[in-house]
Structure 1
Amino acid sequence: GNSTEKDVNRQVYKSLSELNTEEVCEWFSSIGLQKCLPFIREAQLCGADLASVDSTTLDILHIITLEDREQLLSAIYNELHPPSTMTRTLDSMLGPDNVETFTATLASMTKSK
């Protein structure tokens, strides 16, 4: 099956919350928010701060415009929920009323392994 492939990816990519300050700077550069780098270094922000981002963190980063905020938050969201085929399926099922369907599907996926 694909399980070996997934394990390889897991080792290559550190999860967002494990990044140190310098890696956070690299990550910000990769999403086009280089202007935040001095603030990240000054506040010594690490990945855990981003994983639990709140308005205080956004203030520290001087993320003021809606555009920057959306860019950052969607990038963080994608890091925490990497788009795989399974999550795409889940997203399409996860309407507000679909929790039961979701639970049932999850149960059947677990059984079929």
Structure 2
Amino acid sequence: MCLHYYTSLFKKREFNAYEINSAYYRFIGLGYIKSNCFIINPCIILNYYGIRSSVRYEFLNYLGAANEFEISEVRIDKVNGYHFIAIKNKEILYDSLDLKPRGKIFKVTSKRIFKLK
């Protein structure tokens, strides 16, 4: 969902639920993601929408540069698994679960920093 958020932001394109679900099945068929939503290579999905980028992991205190954007992996208290949110300079830009407004406790466990090419 964070990849679609950034695609909407950079390409000025909105996605409806049908388009997101269609993309899910398309990307499984292309081998870009697994059926459990594990993304094998996020840059190839962004490239599908015309966004050329590279990605790397960074330390938790890293703040992105002007030509970078971030997707952080978070661990939700008392929930198995992980969730991903779009962040810029510690501000949550997009979170499909609305963890903070719902009062959920979570912790950033890793940062993926994308650099636009």
> If the length of structure 1 is used for normalisation, what is the TM-score?
0.26
Of Structure 1 and Structure 2, the greater strand share is in: 2
Q: Which has the larger radius of gyration?
A: 1
For CA contacts below 8 A with separation 6 or more, give which structure has more relative contact order. Answer: 2
Calculate the TM-score normalised by the size of structure 2: 0.26
